[in-house]
Structure 1
Amino acid sequence: MKAGFTSIQWIVLVLLLGVVSACSFSEGSGNLLGAGSVPPGAMSGNAVERSSGLTAGSLNGTGEGDSFDGGAAKGVSESNDDGMQAAASSDADNPIIVGFSMDTFQEERWMKDRDMFKEAALALGAQVRIMVADGDDAKQIEQAETMISEGVDVLVVVPHNAEATAAIVQKAHAAGIKVVSYDRMIKNADVDLYVSFDNVEVGELQAKAITRLVPKGKYVYIGGADTDNNAHMFKKGVFNVLQPLIDKGDITVVYDQWSKDWRPANALTNMREALKSNGNRIDAVIAANDATAGSVVQALAEQGLAGRIPVAGQDADLAGAQRIVEGTQTMTVYKPIKRLAETAAELAVKLAKGETVDADRKVNNGKTEVPSVLLSPIAVDKENIDDTVIADGFHAREDVYKSGSGFFTTLSP
């Protein structure tokens, strides 16, 4: 028999190749084949369905975030080419690429920041690259280096460690990239812009609310992460209000401790120790955020004290809002994140374009006076919760008033 294919064999081979090709690129599948193929379900939302605008091999779809860079999307990235389309409509030849380096999604609010920042940046015609470090300093620096090497035009950073992330600023500036410190200040670095809320005022609002209810007595302060500059500013604001009363002898702070990495489990340990060391004789608690306040409420509930001792938090998390309605948490501080995200996105794009940014404040970060835009926080309690977080659409009313859902989450036996 002669070597080679017969005519019939050639026809069968061509038909088989056609079937394979049709299956590989069937309408609506959106799968990119080859070494960088994206498996179905590997990316959240509708990213897989609309990935045809990207080149094969550009994605691995292994986590959270957004990649519009056209290169390898490592680690915590997913793709959504809405950003490509928006940028193309405004500047097809040279779209602005904004890198967003985030610390964590541990607290509910940070997912809101991510979504609102992305939406605002896309509306401005920019592309967005988001990476999340999961509270790991080395990982955050490495991710920032990745975005710098990929050529982002501006880098927006939510630092995990205020000191360690100074290295990100140095590396970005060496590449000619400006850095915006988002919500939390990066310490001891030449940060180009700081966009946040007045975090000292956050602490002052907490302390004013609690001292109105308890002008005299034994106080506990459950702080946030010692490595987070915001935690220090919250505490400064609290003690701006408490110190005159401490000096008068009206208030005694019987327990004051940081909660490592903002972890609720660490706050729970702290609050249990505060109660134990004081024989449960405590009159008020101020916690650095709503997640730590939830741990405070759990520890109080274990001793039958939930709802009997005023507790302050901040961030206006859903669980915190639910506890306010139920009466186990006294107040929170609402920071309208939509305003923060939109302001930061707008100013980051301006910096990337070399435009002038109006910053009416300056905040010292240990090295320089950083141009700053500080928004005003809002104290929220049972009386105004409908007119603030609910009226703004931050939380749905039916979720806030959902019975029994915000009491506490058990963290350990």
Structure 2
Amino acid sequence: MKRTPAALSALTVVLGLGLAACGSAGGAGGGSASAVAGAGAGPQIIGLLLPEDTATRYEQFDRPLFEAKVKALAPNVTVRYANAGGSAQIQAQQLRTMVNAGASVLVVDAQDSAQIKSSIEEAKARGVKVVAYDRLAQGPVDAYVSFDNEKVGELQGQGLLDAMGDKATPDAKVVEIDGDAADPNSVSFERGFLAAVQGKVNIAYDASGLWKPDVAAQKMTAAINQLGARNIAGVYSANDGMAAGIVNALRTAGLTGTPIGGQDAQLDAVQRIVAGTQSYTVYKAYKPEAEAAAELAVDLLQGHDIGSLAAAMTISASGDAVHADLLTPVLLTKANIRQTVVADGLYTVGQICTLPYASACRAAGLQ
């Protein structure tokens, strides 16, 4: 049950390669594209490779924000896009296709940080620059943009303790549903979470939900069967997608009001927070992350120094030293929805406060 933490040539050429998941603006698979560089200069291509489409953030926020920033910074640069759909093997194919198509810079959110290493090594051998996005991939990465992921875990732990209130005791049984161990962020989230709660609650059940709502729901059901529904004082979910599945499993078992949190500030999670079926989430503002990655990609493409953009240094699991830009996450509860996701323009009050949540929104002071 307990898992062990481990440590993108022209458009016609790309279409000729025929990888359905890899597209450009106006083509199947999408992607922003502008006019290619002037006559004789040849096209300049940045590849954006995202890991999966279960979490709503990638298609709804990361991709369009990244594309828009690249277009603003370098109108003659083409952004090629691919989503791996949760498959490390497909992502490796997509990465190879982009390199063969003439990409000069790749921005990669690795589905599997270890498996992507050989593909990154191959790309680097062909002179391609690589930016690790959100997750620190192994191999010779040039730069890394993400959030302070241990801090994310710490906020999740503190959020759970706050939601449990005086029920947060060393004997209180807590269920821990982690992300995929192939994602190094999952390890960091757990490390931060445990640092916040160790000795303050009893982690009575610990399993991986693999970032999948259905798997998380299955694990939650197993925890309920093992511990007894009424003996569960709180639940840690590593993200909001899994929290949705867990909340359904709790409801099926007749449990309501069980403290549970996640991260990513998905719209449905914010609505659950308003309704009281989720206690908190961790808000990682997508715009500064996506725009920082776009700036780094354009600077690498143009041969500029990136030291001022990624001033920190971090070491990947493969031992590579990487320039890093680590942003600050925020704990989101019912009390600061307006000051966070609404103020930042992520969602409007109208998007959050649809008819099923109107009454709860009024009670929360959102309407």
TM-score, with normalisation over the residues of structure 1? 0.76
The aligned residue for residue 48 of structure 2 is 100
Determine the structure 2 residue equivalent to 1:274.
Answer: 223
Change (3 A) 1:352 1:284: same
Q: Give the AA of the match of 1:392.
A: D
Structure 1 CA distance, aligned partners of 2:340 and 2:351? 15
Which residue of structure 2 aligns with residue 165 of structure 1?
116
CA–CA distance in structure 1, aligned partners of residues 20 and 103 of structure 2: 20
Which has the higher mean CA deviation after the structures are superposed, 367-376 or 327-336?
367-376
Specify the code of the residue in structure 2 equivalent to 1:174: A
- Alignment partner, residue 362 of structure 2: none
- The correspondence for 1:320, drawn from 269, 283, 296, is 269
| 1:21-170 correspondence runs (5 A) | 58=15, 66-67=23-24, 77-78=29-30, 81=33, 83-84=34-35, 93-94=41-42, 96-111=44-59, 112-125=61-74, 126-170=77-121
**1:263 maps to which residue?**
212
**More displaced stretch, 130-139 vs 317-326:** 130-139
Q: Give the distance between the partners of 1:336 and 1:197, measured in 2 at CA.
A: 9
**SS of the residue 2:356 aligns to:** coil
Name the counterpart of 1:221: 176
Partner Cα distance (2:110, 2:275) in 1: 34
In structure 2, distance between residues paired with 1:137 and 1:55: 26
Q: Deviations over 1:199-219 (max 9, x none)?
A: 111111111121123331211
Distance 1:114 1:350 in 2: 19
1:265-297 Cα distance to aligned partner (Å, 9 max, x none): 100000011111111111111100001111111
Counterpart in 2 of 1:234? Answer: 189
Residue 62 of structure 1 deviates from its aligned partner by 8.4
Which amino acid is 2:132 matched to?
S
Counterpart secondary structure, 2:215: helix
Paired with 1:59 and 1:386, the residues of 2 have a C-alpha distance of 47
- Cα distance in 2 for partners of 1:274, 1:263 equals 16
Offset, 1:163:
0.5
Task: Summarize the Cα distance change of 1:143–1:60 in structure 2 as closer, same or farther, 3 Å threshold.
Answer: closer
Aligned residue pairs total: 336
Matched position secondary structure for 1:164? coil
Higher relative contact order (CA 8 A, sep 6+): 2
Query: Does the 8 Å CA contact 1:61/1:77 hold for their aligned counterparts?
Result: no
Distance 1:309 1:80 in 2: 42
1:305 is paired with a residue of what secondary structure?
coil
Runs of 4+ in 1 over 6 A off after TM superposition: 53-57, 59-62
Instruction: Using the TM superposition, give the Cα deviation of residue 66 of structure 1 relative to its aligned residue in structure 2, in angstroms.
Output: 4.0
2:4 alignment counterpart: none
Give 1:176's aligned residue: 127
Structure 2 distance, partners of 1:397, 1:206, is 24
Equivalent residue, structure 2, for 1:185: 136
Query: Residues of 2 paired with 1:335 and 1:79: CA distance?
Result: 23
**What is the deviation of 1:113?**
0.6
What is residue 339 of structure 1 aligned with on the other side? 288
Shift of 1:251: 1.4
Q: Please list the CA deviations of residues 28-59 of structure 1 after superposition, one character each: whole Å capped at 9, or x if unmatched.
A: xxxxxxxxxxxxxxxxxxxxxxxxx9779957
- TM-score relative to the length of structure 2: 0.85
Q: CA RMSD in A?
A: 2.4
Q: 1:309 aligns with which of 258, 272, 294?
A: 258
User: 1: distance between equivalents of 2:332 and 2:14?
Assistant: 48
Q: Is the 8 A contact 2:283 2:332 kept in 1?
A: yes
Match for 2:340 among 388, 391, 394? 388
User: Greater CA radius of gyration, 1 or 2?
Assistant: 1
Partner of 1:373: 325
CA apart distance, 1:351: 1.1
User: For residues 253 and 127 of structure 1, do their structure 2 counterparts lie closer, same or farther at Cα, with a shift above 3 Å needed?
Assistant: same
Q: Is the 8 A contact 1:198 1:377 kept in 2?
A: yes
2:131–2:144 contact (8 Å) kept in structure 1:
yes
User: Secondary structure of the equivalent of 1:225?
Assistant: coil
- In structure 1, what is the Cα distance between the partners aligned to 2:113 and 2:13? 38
Say if 2:240 and 2:265, in contact at 8 Å, map to a contact too: yes
Q: CA offset at residue 65 of structure 1?
A: 5.6
Alignment-mate amino acid for residue 364 of structure 1: I
Specify the code of the residue in structure 1 equivalent to 2:107: V
Name the SS for the 1:84 alignment partner: coil
Q: Answer yes or no: is the 8 Å Cα contact 1:157–1:179 preserved in 2.
A: yes
Question: Tell me, which stretches of 5 or more residues in structure 1 are unaligned?
Answer: 1-52, 407-413
C-alpha distance in structure 2 between counterparts of 1:383 and 1:405, whole Å: 16
